Amino acid sequence: MNEAILWAKFLGAWLLVAGPLYQGSVELEELDLDREAIEQVKAAAAKAAENRPSPWWWLVPPVMYVLRRRWAAAFHEATFGQLTQAQQAQFAGFRSKATGWFTVAAGATLLAAGETWEVTGHYRWAAWAFWLLVVAMLAGSLLNTAIRRSGGRRRPGAGSGLEPE
């Protein structure tokens, strides 16, 4: 019975990773965004990205920090200055919701990693088995979302359980 509970906790924890990833992708897709206007701003973003500080500045981290902050502020001003107030509010809402779902998925990943550690410890598996399981389960969670979301774009109602047999 202990082994069944161990595996149930392991699988449950990884379902807590897959669920927020999928739900977040659904909710973010459903948000009312002026995607066309935001796509047009990408041209300005690409131009601003050309002025990004050289990675060589990481040899002097404090200087890179200052340069990176200045560049980020200029990038923000160049891109967001082209959006209307409504578009800025839409983007802020999108960013807030994405941050929330990412935080939930990241927390669930940490819990799932702990449960994975318990499984590998119970069976006295090598540390590489732990990392292999974590990578495989995380990839499975991401793949689940990608497959379900791409299937939903091809056919209306796909993945809803309402398809004819």
| pLDDT single digits (tens) 103-151 | 999 999 999 999 999 999 999 999 999 999 999 999 999 999 999 999 7
| pLDDT single digits (tens) 79-103 | 777 788 888 888 888 889 999 999 9
pTM above 0.95, yes or no: no
Give Cβ neighbours of residue 105 (< 8 Å, ≥ 6 apart).
17, 20, 21, 24
pLDDT band at residue 152 using 50, 70 and 90 as cut-offs: low
**Cα 80 to Cα 74: distance, rounded to the nearest angstrom:** 10
